[in-house]
C-alpha cells in the first residue's frame, strides 16, 4: 500500500461522523493536574502510583464501606499525566485495558504475603497501607495505621487481572471472598478526577512515604 491508492470517499464519508464523535469524546476535559504526575518503576512509590491507588481506594469504599486498602502494580500503569488539563484520552493512555474493579477479603496471613511481594519488588502502588522496608525485610507493615493481625480478615480493592494472578501474584489465590464489579478501572480514574473537579479541586499527587526503603 502506498500513496497511489485512493481512499474510497463513500467509506470515508460513512465513518467520518463516528471518527469525529470519538475524537470529541477523547478530547473532553475531565480535570486538571497541578503538576506532572509521573511514574517511576525504580522507586518505592511514585506520584502516579499514589494517584492511581488513591483513586482505586476511593471507588472501593463507595462499592463496599468495609474496604480498608487498595493495591495495584507499577507495570499496570501505562502513562504519566502531564500538568494541565486531563482529558478522557489521557485516562485511556494511563489504563488502556478493560480491567474491572475487584474487592477481596483476605486473611491477615495473605496480607503479609502481599507485604513480602512488595518487599521483593521494591514497592508497589498502594493506599491505606504503610510499608517500611529495611535490609530486604518488612520492618513495618500497617493497614489503616494498625499492624496486621494474622488471624484477622481485611478487605482490599484491586482489579481482576491481579486478582487472577497477573504480574506473578500468588497471594490472591485463596481469598475468603471475592467480588468483581461491572466497573472498569479506567472509568474509576475518570470518575475520581471528575469528582475532584466538581469539588473545584485539582489532581495534586504527592509522595507521602507510604512505602519507604531504608538501606
Domain ranges for the chain, please list them.
9-214
How far is Cα of residue 195 from the mean position of the Cα atoms in its chain? Answer: 16
Average pLDDT of the chain is 92
Helices (H), 64-136: 88-94, 108-120
Quick one: pLDDT band at residue 30, thresholds 50, 70, 90?
Answer: very high
Least confident of 9-13, 51-55, 95-99, 162-166: 9-13
**Residue 40 to residues 25, 43, 62, 128, 158, Cα–Cα distance (Å):** 29, 6, 28, 20, 20
Identify the residue whose cell numbers are 494474622.
Answer: 150
- The pTM of this model reads 0.90
2: pLDDT strictly greater than 80:
no
Least Cα distance to 212 among 120, 112, 140 occurs for 140
Which three cell numbers, joined as nine digits, stand for 35? 503538576
Q: Backbone phi, then psi, for 66, in 5-degree steps?
A: -85, -5
Please give the CATH architecture assigned to the domain spanning 9-214.
Answer: Alpha-Beta Complex (3.90)
Quick one: pLDDT band at residue 215, thresholds 50, 70, 90?
Answer: confident
Which three cell numbers, joined as nine digits, stand for 39? 511514574
Which three cell numbers, joined as nine digits, stand for 193? 478526577
Q: Tens digits of per-residue pLDDT, 102-161?
A: 999 999 999 999 999 999 999 999 999 999 999 999 999 999 999 999 999 999 999 999
55: pLDDT strictly greater than 90:
yes
What confidence score (pLDDT) does residue 9 get? 59
What confidence score (pLDDT) does residue 15 get? 47
Contacts of 67 (CB under 8 A, 6+ apart): 57, 60, 61, 103, 155, 156, 157
Amino acid at each position: 500500500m502506498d500513496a497511489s491508492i485512493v481512499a474510497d470517499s463513500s467509506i470515508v464519508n460513512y465513518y467520518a461522523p463516528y471518527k469525529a464523535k470519538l475524537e470529541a469524546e477523547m478530547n473532553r476535559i475531565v480535570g486538571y493536574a497541578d503538576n506532572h504526575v509521573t511514574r517511576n518503576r525504580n522507586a518505592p512509590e511514585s506520584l502516579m502510583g499514589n494517584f492511581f491507588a488513591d483513586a482505586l481506594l476511593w471507588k472501593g469504599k463507595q462499592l463496599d464501606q468495609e474496604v480498608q486498602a487498595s493495591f495495584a502494580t507499577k507495570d499496570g500503569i501505562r502513562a504519566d499525566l502531564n500538568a494541565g488539563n486531563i482529558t478522557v484520552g489521557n485516562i485511556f493512555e494511563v489504563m488502556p485495558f478493560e480491567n474491572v474493579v475487584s474487592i477481596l477479603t483476605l486473611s491477615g496471613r495473605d496480607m503479609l504475603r502481599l507485604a513480602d511481594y512488595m518487599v521483593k519488588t521494591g514497592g508497589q502502588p498502594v493506599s491505606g497501607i504503610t510499608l517500611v522496608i529495611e535490609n530486604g525485610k518488612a520492618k513495618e507493615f500497617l493497614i489503616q495505621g494498625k499492624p496486621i493481625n494474622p488471624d484477622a480478615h481485611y478487605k482490599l480493592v484491586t482489579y481482576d487481572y491481579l486478582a487472577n494472578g497477573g504480574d506473578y501474584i500468588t497471594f490472591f489465590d485463596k481469598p475468603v471472598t471475592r467480588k468483581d464489579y461491572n466497573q472498569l478501572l479506567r472509568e474509576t480514574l475518570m470518575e475520581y478526577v471528575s469528582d475532584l473537579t466538581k469539588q473545584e479541586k485539582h489532581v495534586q499527587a504527592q509522595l507521602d512515604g507510604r512505602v519507604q526503603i531504608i538501606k
